[in-house]
Structure 1
Amino acid sequence: MTRPVHTVTLDRVGGQEPPLGPAAGWSRRGQWWLAAVAGAFVLAQLVAVGPGMGLGWDESVYVSQVSSHAPASFFSAPRARGISLLVAPVAGWSSSTPLLRVYLALLAGLGLFLALRAWRGLFPVRVLALGGALFASLWVTVFYGPQAMPNYWVAVGALAGVGCFLQAQTDRTRRGPVWGLAASALLMAWMRPTDAVWVSLPLLFALVVLRRWRHGRLLIALAGGLVAGAAEWVIEAYARFGGLGRRLSEGSDIQGGLGWHVAIGDQLRSLGGRSLCRPCTGAMPNPAVTAWWFTLPVLAAIGLAVAVRRRRTPPTALPLACAVTAAIPYLFLIGYAAPRFLLPTYALLAIPVADALVRLVTAPGRAWRPVTVTLVAMGLAGHLAVQYAVLAHTVQRTTAAHEGWERTAAALRRVGVRPPCLLTGPSTLPIAFYAGCSSASTGGPNANADAATITQAAQRMPVAVLTTGAARPPSYARGWRLVRLDGAVYAYIAPTARQDRGA
């Protein structure tokens, strides 16, 4: 006896016309289009960013947790260990940054392909391909794709998760999308637990509050994925920080105190290529640099209007709702900005925006169509040019900063500060990683030592306090040997037994 197949389309759960369905408009050619977008994204990372860009401040923290090159850096309360585990297959046995960059670029391309594929049948292939291209062409996406940072992975997890959620609601007999949602939620929570919760709020609301959207297995999958992904972070909260509430409170303090902060202007300033805008002062970037940011909500609104008119609202409205909740903490609850914070929002907006653009250039009305196509093409070309101009400037400046850290580390080795060793002072955390040393800080968000701990360490290993030319050393280091390292960077080096022997 043949078992009947029960299909629940989104017209039942959302009161709308059903979407295209898993097979409609989908073929092997469609997968090749998505693969081409992902492949172009990988190539852009390797060419425009390049494998040779050294590790940044936050990257050195994450990589040091699994690397044999240097001791593990201090791991502050807001961080999660997902990205450290992601890089472990390479960083665990090799100190090669180019190899790590290539590995992460390939993974980023694969992640984008799988996230777009989760939307198959919900939108035409051309919309999915354009949405992927729009997200993958942003300078911030290309810049952070090959980096050991968690935000890109929250973004692809969010995009894949919402697609799987909609697929599971379309046909409740399919188990694949349910497992896909669980895996996506796990990935997001594994990387950044708090971001995962913000992204998932509309999904949880729909599953719990809206009767027509209730789906027991889907709710278990979403909640289970979030819990499984955040489990290590929660366990560590009790093991290291005295409990979950204490860790959240300490994380809030490190981030300047979470509360009502309108950071929209800060985010705009960061679009000019500032990887961290804290404090976020100075002039706004050229309007050509920020124009796309103001265009996004307009196109998203057009996409929603098109979906309502077609009576296919859920596939557009749900990612837009998740994009809004993902952006709330970084636009209104934190007092500084970094462009990578909004990567999940950009990923979730990409497909509705692409749908709006496709609709604009294919809408009925032959008289205006050539004009519309020309304007959209010119807008996309200008947008791409601006994005890669900002990317080139950002990569150049970042690479120069990382090369400065490497020169300082090399100078430290020349004056006898070699592993095992300890560095302290401002900006020492990434330099310590480059030098293979431990790092210590007596204040600020990375405080993990006091003066007594540092002076005791100086009895058994080389210890150096890094300063700029104008800065005075702490009191315990005023009798130590002063050495100029690189540019305006100086080191006060403790008289250890190794140095006394002329090592």
Structure 2
Amino acid sequence: MYELRAPSPPPVRELTGSAPRPSPRLLPCLVAVALVCMAVQLAFVIPGSGLGWDETVYVSQAGGDTPAAFFSAPRARGISYLVAPVAALTASTTALRSYLLLLSAGALVGAFRVWRTLVPGRVLVCAAALFATLWPALFYGSMAMPNLWCALGSLAATGWVARALLRGTGRAELLGAGAATAVVVLMRPADGVWLALPLLLVTLVRPRMFAALAVGLLAGAAPWIVEAFAHYGGPLTRIHRASEIQGGLGWNLAVDDQAKALEGRTLCRPCTISWNRPGTTVWWALLPFLVVGGAVVARRAGRGRLILLATGTAVSLAVPYLFLIDYAAPRFLLPAYALFSLPVAECLVRLYAWTRRPAKRPGRTVAAQWRVVALGAVLAAHLAVQLQVTSRVSASSHSTTADFEAVAAALHRNGIRPPCVISGDQAVPIAYYAGCASRQTAGHDGSITPAGLREAARRAPTAVLVSGGGPRPAYAPAGPRVFLAETRDAGPYSGYLFPPPDLPVPGRPDS
């Protein structure tokens, strides 16, 4: 006789009951998302764009003919390393933008593909589309800024950790998690720490993965630590100085500032502005509900703990920018948005499936069709808002670039040509466009004393810039104010030249 036995239970997994089979259409769909976003950036962002203030700081460190700008305590060298292959060869902004656009598109596909054995393909494609079409992601996709890279690195690192907890810790998981964490820390050390906190916590029982994350954390921070000992007297002193520059880290409710900045402010500091376009934050207000809904849907599908890991890591990455600093910039939250896209996509895919569910009664068919139309209209409106803000922010950026170029050209006409030194209002980006060194006597970029600036003026043409009809700085020369250009943002730009333009100076042609 045969003995009747109950079937053996499936093996218990740590995060989910089962892993979805990767879809063969996932890669082409992710590539399609990346190509569409590239097309949007080529249409709205890249044409006519120039380097912004922070970009000029990072790019000037990477070689070329422009002197390196002052590198303040909070900054890290990751972006400078990333742009070095192009910046060392050419000063073309278009070449740099194209290079970064291709890299970021590839990184977008790669970061979401890490999750292919954890989350269904349709959810991943939806998540990638939701994240990549947010205006901060579109605007910064080709920018020499670290935040998008932190976002994609955080997404990949969390995915590798989730794969290790689900399938076991193999070599790919160890290398992937360590490398992704190192990239985030190399770009922005603070983001790397907030990323590592939840990941280290969940891997306490996985010594090999814990060690891989710790090694990645230290490897990414190594250049920042070495520089801290070389120029600041140690990491603690540098952290203290970085905190001073950022206005002091402590309890500061910046939720409302982040909401207002979504209307198209790349930096809101101080954020004492009127809220002119509250419609741009509708999606932001819905985000917590969509995340919770996605977590519930994922739990019922056996992916609850996976999505909980992504959500918890996103919350950790968002905490400092919502509650610990007193200013806002939408790009700061890109790492959180990348991870939040997973539960939001879970919710929207389930919602779409519900709208498509066949009606049990013939009379309800029309209602089901209207649900599909309503969901599509909401998503289309959201996309239209993101594109509109992208266009508006890009136009403002292009206008600022034109202002910088106009002031730099006027300085050249007045004999301030390389090698030269520029100080004063917006000296950092204008010096980059003029091919000069920027030297400030005070503030975050303070790198020279008034006496030192006067000494530098004896060796190279030097100018002190004043915007908007402001008063003459105390350290400026006593000569007449020279009008340079009328700008859109700051009004008339003037300069005090060492010596006045009617006197000869070594390295400057007589006028």
**Superposition TM-score tier, normalisation by shorter sequence:** over 0.9
**In the alignment, structure 1 residue 310 sits paired with structure 2 residue 314:** no
Q: Tell me the amino acid that sits aligned with residue 79 of structure 1.
A: R
Deviations 1:171-204 (A, max 9, x none): 2263212211111101101100110110222111
Q: Tell me the amino acid that sits aligned with residue 23 of structure 2.
A: W
- After superposition, residues 354-373 of structure 1 pair within 5 angstroms as 354-363=345-354, 366=359, 367=364, 369-373=368-372
Q: Secondary structure, in 3 states, of the residue corresponding to 2:481?
A: strand
2:263 match:
272
Q: Secondary structure, in 3 states, of the residue corresponding to 1:444?
A: coil
Q: Secondary structure, in 3 states, of the residue corresponding to 2:13?
A: helix
CA deviation after TM superposition for structure 1 residue 370, in Å: 3.0
Q: Secondary structure, in 3 states, of the residue corresponding to 1:498?
A: coil
CA deviation after TM superposition for structure 1 residue 330, in Å: 0.2
In the alignment, structure 2 segments of 5+ residues that lack a partner are: 1-9, 487-491
**In the alignment, structure 1 residue 502 sits paired with structure 2 residue 507:** no
Structure index of larger Rg: 2
In the alignment, structure 1 segments of 5+ residues that lack a partner are: 1-8, 209-213
Q: Secondary structure, in 3 states, of the residue corresponding to 1:13?
A: coil
Which of 75, 81, 104 is equivalent to 1:79?
A: 75
Measure the CA separation in 1 of the matches of 2:299 and 2:14: 15
- After superposition, residues 390-405 of structure 1 pair within 5 angstroms as 390-405=389-404
**In the alignment, structure 1 residue 244 sits paired with structure 2 residue 235:** yes
CA deviation after TM superposition for structure 1 residue 303, in Å: 0.5
Deviations 1:38-90 (A, max 9, x none): 22222222222124300000000000001313100000000000000000010
Measure the CA separation in 2 of the matches of 1:315 and 1:371: 33
Measure the CA separation in 1 of the matches of 2:429 and 2:239: 25
Measure the CA separation in 2 of the matches of 1:446 and 1:344: 27
**In the alignment, structure 1 residue 490 sits paired with structure 2 residue 487:** no
**In the alignment, structure 1 residue 261 sits paired with structure 2 residue 252:** yes
CA contact (8 A) 1:483 1:491 kept: yes
CA deviation after TM superposition for structure 1 residue 501, in Å: 6.3
CA contact (8 A) 2:477 2:497 kept: no
Q: Secondary structure, in 3 states, of the residue corresponding to 1:475?
A: coil
Q: Tell me the amino acid that sits aligned with residue 490 of structure 1.
A: S
Deviations 1:429-450 (A, max 9, x none): 1000000101111111111111
Q: Tell me the amino acid that sits aligned with residue 502 of structure 1.
A: D
1:130 match:
126
CA deviation after TM superposition for structure 1 residue 351, in Å: 1.5
**In the alignment, structure 1 residue 226 sits paired with structure 2 residue 225:** no
CA deviation after TM superposition for structure 1 residue 469, in Å: 5.0
Measure the CA separation in 2 of the matches of 1:276 and 1:445: 16
Comparing 359-368 with 44-53, greater Cα deviation is found at 359-368
Which of 158, 163, 175 is equivalent to 1:162?
A: 158
CA contact (8 A) 2:417 2:508 kept: no
CA deviation after TM superposition for structure 1 residue 25, in Å: 4.0
**In the alignment, structure 1 residue 17 sits paired with structure 2 residue 17:** yes
2:57 match:
61
Measure the CA separation in 2 of the matches of 1:241 and 1:201: 26
Comparing 477-486 with 429-438, greater Cα deviation is found at 477-486
Comparing 56-65 with 45-54, greater Cα deviation is found at 45-54
**In the alignment, structure 1 residue 26 sits paired with structure 2 residue 17:** no
- After superposition, residues 443-454 of structure 1 pair within 5 angstroms as 443-454=442-453
Q: Tell me the amino acid that sits aligned with residue 420 of structure 1.
A: P
- After superposition, residues 137-216 of structure 1 pair within 5 angstroms as 137-172=133-168, 174-208=170-204, 214-216=205-207
Measure the CA separation in 1 of the matches of 2:417 and 2:11: 63
Q: Tell me the amino acid that sits aligned with residue 170 of structure 1.
A: L
Q: CA, structure 1 residues 415+343, in 2 after alignment: closer, same or farther (shift >3 Å)?
A: same
Measure the CA separation in 2 of the matches of 1:369 and 1:140: 34
CA contact (8 A) 1:132 1:350 kept: yes
2:478 match:
479
**In the alignment, structure 1 residue 282 sits paired with structure 2 residue 273:** yes
Q: Tell me the amino acid that sits aligned with residue 484 of structure 2.
A: L
Measure the CA separation in 1 of the matches of 2:508 and 2:27: 66
CA contact (8 A) 2:203 2:210 kept: yes
Q: Tell me the amino acid that sits aligned with residue 45 of structure 1.
A: Q
2:386 match:
387
Deviations 1:225-271 (A, max 9, x none): 11111110011111111111000000000001111000011101110
CA deviation after TM superposition for structure 1 residue 10, in Å: 9.6
Deviations 1:137-196 (A, max 9, x none): 011100011000000000000111111111122222632122111111011011001101
1:351 match:
342
Q: Tell me the amino acid that sits aligned with residue 510 of structure 2.
A: G
Measure the CA separation in 2 of the matches of 1:42 and 1:199: 27
Comparing 46-55 with 413-422, greater Cα deviation is found at 46-55
CA contact (8 A) 1:71 1:436 kept: yes
Deviations 1:368-422 (A, max 9, x none): 6434322221111000011111111111111101110001001101110001100
Q: Secondary structure, in 3 states, of the residue corresponding to 1:497?
A: coil
Q: Secondary structure, in 3 states, of the residue corresponding to 1:12?
A: coil
Q: Secondary structure, in 3 states, of the residue corresponding to 1:416?
A: coil
1:3 match:
none
Measure the CA separation in 2 of the matches of 1:335 and 1:186: 27
- After superposition, residues 422-437 of structure 1 pair within 5 angstroms as 422-437=421-436
CA deviation after TM superposition for structure 1 residue 480, in Å: 2.6
Give the aligned length.
Answer: 485
CA deviation after TM superposition for structure 1 residue 483, in Å: 1.2
Measure the CA separation in 1 of the matches of 2:508 and 2:47: 40
Measure the CA separation in 2 of the matches of 1:289 and 1:414: 43
**In the alignment, structure 1 residue 96 sits paired with structure 2 residue 118:** no
Comparing 127-136 with 276-285, greater Cα deviation is found at 276-285
Q: Tell me the amino acid that sits aligned with residue 493 of structure 1.
A: L
2:111 match:
115
Measure the CA separation in 2 of the matches of 1:219 and 1:437: 46
Q: CA, structure 1 residues 227+499, in 2 after alignment: closer, same or farther (shift >3 Å)?
A: closer
CA deviation after TM superposition for structure 1 residue 316, in Å: 0.8
CA contact (8 A) 1:481 1:494 kept: no
- After superposition, residues 326-345 of structure 1 pair within 5 angstroms as 326-345=317-336
Q: Secondary structure, in 3 states, of the residue corresponding to 2:119?
A: coil
TM-score of the superposition, structure 2-length normalised? 0.92
Q: CA, structure 1 residues 286+475, in 2 after alignment: closer, same or farther (shift >3 Å)?
A: closer
Cα RMSD, aligned residues only:
1.7
Q: Tell me the amino acid that sits aligned with residue 431 of structure 1.
A: I
TM-score of the superposition, structure 1-length normalised? 0.93
2:405 match:
406
Q: Tell me the amino acid that sits aligned with residue 118 of structure 2.
A: L
CA contact (8 A) 1:156 1:347 kept: yes
Q: CA, structure 1 residues 94+383, in 2 after alignment: closer, same or farther (shift >3 Å)?
A: same
**In the alignment, structure 1 residue 418 sits paired with structure 2 residue 426:** no
CA deviation after TM superposition for structure 1 residue 468, in Å: 2.4
CA deviation after TM superposition for structure 1 residue 294, in Å: 0.9
**How many percent identity over aligned positions?**
45
Q: Tell me the amino acid that sits aligned with residue 284 of structure 1.
A: W
